[in-house]
């Protein structure tokens, strides 16, 4: 299976890069894993709503262009479905059984994901109704993907 995490913006904190590296290494033993950071659209804090919308649309096009055409698209958004770890594991197993071996997870920038990305997603997923820094979401997501993999394969992993 090929798993891709595509995110808008860079990870600035070394402890987050280190944690992501740990789970990336664990996952890479069984899957092809790729992490892609795309540049965010720079706009000022005083930007109008239309400028923000335009930035979100541009970032959305970058995200969509980064995924292979055959990828299952999972868009992370606070309005998405909240799944338990076993439910996420079952969903990934279902895709794999259907021969959908490419999964692309999209993490938007500071203003979120474009409606285009949301509408093209096979799954809109929320990690929580709480708000987290985009950099931290990458670590939380890759850990949950690793946990889902352990559940699917019956590998013991801490609770």
> Are the C-beta atoms of 85 and 37 separated by less than 8 Å?
no
Q: Where are the alpha helices (DSSP H) in the chain?
A: 14-28, 49-66, 85-97, 115-120, 134-153
Please report, for residues 42, 44, 110, 130, 146, the alpha-carbon distance to residue 103 in angstroms, rounded to integers and kept in the order given: 28, 33, 23, 25, 14
Percentage of residues of the chain with pLDDT beyond 90 = 78
Q: How far apart are CA 80 and CA 74, in angstroms?
A: 10
> Are the C-beta atoms of 125 and 67 separated by less than 8 Å?
no
pLDDT digits (tens, 9 = 90+) for 19-48: 999 999 999 998 999 999 999 998 887 888
Q: What is the pTM of this model?
A: 0.93
Please tell me the predicted confidence (pLDDT) of residue 158: 63
Domains and CATH numbers, the chain: 2-42+57-153 (3.40.1280.10)
Please tell me the predicted confidence (pLDDT) of residue 119: 96
């Amino acid at each position: 299976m090929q798993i891709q995490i595509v995110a808008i913006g860079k990870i600035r904190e070394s402890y987050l890069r280190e944690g992501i590296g740990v789970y990336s290494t664990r996952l890479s033993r069984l899957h092809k894993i790729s992490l892609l950071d795309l540049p965010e659209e720079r706009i000022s804090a005083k930007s109008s709503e239309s400028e923000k919308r335009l930035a979100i649309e541009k970032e959305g096009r970058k995200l969509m262009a980064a995924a292979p055409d055959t990828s299952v698209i999972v868009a992370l958004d606070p309005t998405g479905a909240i799944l338990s770890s076993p439910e996420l594991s079952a969903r990934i197993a279902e895709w794999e059984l259907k021969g959908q071996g490419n999964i692309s997870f999209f993490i938007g920038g500071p203003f979120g994901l474009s409606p285009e990305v949301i509408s093209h997603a096979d799954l809109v997923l929320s990690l929580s109704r709480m708000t987290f820094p985009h950099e931290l979401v990458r670590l939380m997501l890759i850990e949950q993907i690793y946990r889902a993999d352990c559940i699917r394969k019956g590998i013991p992993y801490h609770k």
